[in-house]
């Protein structure tokens, strides 16, 4: 086995146990193919599905696979106007299933997400009956402090490059703890425990996914 894959597998097994102690559902998958299979297994037919900040779910092919399923997709990227887009984002808050990623995870089983509009962290906190988090093992940090630092100083500056915004991190690639009108770091969410038990489900992937 590749040394990094072996390390990911060992850290993944430890993280699954720690997430389960916090009443999350958690699964470790060696690769994208296995992760896609597990995600489809967790999503029943007939449900309404929304997503936000779900680059990793896209990378494993989940969105494409769902187009072939008997489900209703709330795809904001297909909106004809900003008003329709905003409406779809609000509908996601009451979807049956919400797909998302993690900006960082701590090895003791806590998730950190940082958000610009707040729609993604809002859905993680409350609303959808089931939240499925797809996360590559590159997102895992040894400590919660390290996870917060990763979210703020690595994930956020990297994500800023995807948007047409005028923030310092967009220009320099580094966090400036800014108060820009375009700031994408407006909400910082630490999810440390799951209630009701099993509502949030983690699919950990032994590859590097997302930013």
Residues pairing with 205 in the sheet: 29, 136
Residue 210 domain-assigned? no
Residue 78 domain-assigned? yes
Residue 9 domain-assigned? yes
- The 10s digit of each residue's pLDDT in 5-22 is 999 999 999 999 999 999
- The 10s digit of each residue's pLDDT in 39-98 is 999 999 999 999 998 999 999 999 999 999 999 999 999 999 999 999 999 999 999 999
Residue 139 domain-assigned? yes
**Interatomic CA distance for residues 140 and 128, integer angstroms:** 25
Residue 62 domain-assigned? yes
pLDDT of amino acid 107: 98
**Interatomic CA distance for residues 160 and 168, integer angstroms:** 10
Q: Which of 125, 117, 124, 154 is nearest to 139 (CA)?
A: 154
For residue 209, pLDDT beyond 90: yes
Question: What CATH number is associated with residue 169?
Answer: 3.40.50.10420
pLDDT of amino acid 153: 97
Residues pairing with 106 in the sheet: 141
Domain that holds residue 41: 3-205
Q: How many helices (H) and strands (E) does the chain have?
A: 9, 10
Tokens for 90, please give them: 């609000």
- The 10s digit of each residue's pLDDT in 82-108 is 999 999 999 999 999 999 999 999 999
Count of structural domains, the chain: 1
Q: Which of 158, 181, 154 is nearest to 170 (CA)?
A: 158
For residue 1, pLDDT beyond 80: no
- The 10s digit of each residue's pLDDT in 155-195 is 999 999 999 999 999 999 999 999 999 999 999 999 999 99
pLDDT of amino acid 140: 98
Residue 34 domain-assigned? yes
**Interatomic CA distance for residues 61 and 58, integer angstroms:** 5
Residue 127 domain-assigned? yes
**Interatomic CA distance for residues 126 and 121, integer angstroms:** 9
pLDDT of amino acid 159: 96
Residue 211 domain-assigned? no
């Amino acid at each position: 086995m590749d040394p990094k894959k072996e390390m990911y597998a060992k850290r993944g097994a430890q993280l699954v146990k720690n997430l389960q102690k916090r009443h999350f559902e958690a699964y470790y998958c060696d690769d994208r193919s296995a992760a896609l299979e597990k995600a489809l297994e967790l999503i029943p037919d007939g449900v309404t599905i929304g997503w936000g900040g779900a680059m990793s779910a896209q990378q494993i092919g989940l969105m494409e696979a769902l187009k072939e399923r008997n489900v209703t997709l709330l795809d904001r990227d297909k909106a004809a106007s900003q008003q329709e887009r905003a409406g779809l984002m609000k509908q996601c808050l009451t979807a049956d299933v919400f797909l998302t990623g993690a900006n960082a995870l701590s090895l003791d089983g806590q998730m950190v997400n940082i958000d610009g509009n707040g729609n993604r962290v809002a859905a993680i906190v409350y609303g959808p009956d089931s939240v499925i988090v797809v996360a590559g093992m590159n997102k895992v940090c040894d400590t919660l402090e390290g996870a917060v630092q990763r979210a703020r100083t690595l994930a956020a500056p990297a994500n800023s490059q995807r948007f047409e915004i005028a923030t310092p991190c967009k220009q320099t690639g580094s966090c400036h703890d800014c108060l820009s009108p375009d700031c994408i770091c407006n909400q910082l969410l630490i999810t440390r425990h799951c209630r009701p038990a099993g509502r949030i489900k983690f699919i950990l992937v032994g590859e590097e996914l997302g930013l």
